[in-house]
């Protein structure tokens, strides 16, 4: 008996595949539970049309993801975090912070699309952004200390030297 699967079924096949099953398994288990339909000619034509439409939609989604990936190619991020005197971050840098930085640059991304290693120290890192199952972009970013960015403007200010004390003997 030929059936069209409506869902992925372990050891049988994937959604929208036409598979051969024993008649009892198809009639008594798959079809009543809504996991499959009989693969009649009309059902096969409907399946073919649905696959064509889905392929067109998926191609458009992939093209949009590739366009976003092209825009993200030159992006470099800087993330400021509170650190100890040894350069260890209090907490860690997560995909949420990277998503916020990308949002400031105009990229609307779900944080679950961003994969980052466990980051506990200042330095240079790479985040992988998965825009589509076939489109992944590597975004370089730097983690800097919050205290270093605050101290830097203070160093730039001219400091008048105090006159040296002289003692007369």
CA pair distance 117, 131, nearest whole angstrom = 18
Enter the pTM of the model.
0.59
Determine phi and psi for 9, rounding to 5 degrees: -125, 125
In the three-class reduction of DSSP (H, G, I as helix; E, B as strand; rest coil), residue 80 is classed as strand
Provide the H-helix boundaries in the chain.
23-25, 41-72, 95-104, 146-156
In this predicted structure, the answer to whether residue 159 has a pLDDT above a threshold of 50 is no
In this predicted structure, the answer to whether residue 150 has a pLDDT above a threshold of 70 is no
* pLDDT higher at 158 or 44: 44
Q: What is the pLDDT of residues 80-135, one digit of tens each?
A: 988 888 888 888 888 999 999 999 998 888 888 899 988 888 889 999 998 887 88
Q: What is the pLDDT of residues 25-70, one digit of tens each?
A: 999 999 999 999 999 999 999 999 999 998 989 899 899 999 999 9
Give just the sign of the alpha carbon dihedral 20, 23, 29, 34.
Answer: positive
- Residue 24 pLDDT level (bands cut at 50, 70, 90): very high
Find all residues with CB under 8 Å of 90, minimum gap 6, and list them: 81, 82, 83, 84
User: What are the structural domains of the chain?
Assistant: 2-56 (3.40.5.10), 71-154 (3.10.430.100)
């Amino acid at each position: 008996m030929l059936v069209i699967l409506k869902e992925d079924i372990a050891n049988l096949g994937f959604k929208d595949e036409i598979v051969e099953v024993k008649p009892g398994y198809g009639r008594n288990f798959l079809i009543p539970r809504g996991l499959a339909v009989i693969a009649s000619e009309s059902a096969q034509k409907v399946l073919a049309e649905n696959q064509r439409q889905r392929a067109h939609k998926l191609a458009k989604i992939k093209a949009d993801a590739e366009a976003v990936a092209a825009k993200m190619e030159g992006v470099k991020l800087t993330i400021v975090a509170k650190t100890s005197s040894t350069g260890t971050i209090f907490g860690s840098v997560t995909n949420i912070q990277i998503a916020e930085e990308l949002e400031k640059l105009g990229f609307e991304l779900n944080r679950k699309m961003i994969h980052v290693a466990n980051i506990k120290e200042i330095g240079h890192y790479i985040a992988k952004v998965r825009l589509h199952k076939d489109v992944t972009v590597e975004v370089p970013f730097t983690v800097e200390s919050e205290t270093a960015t605050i101290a830097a403007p203070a160093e730039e200010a001219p400091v008048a030297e105090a006159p040296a004390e002289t003692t007369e003997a």
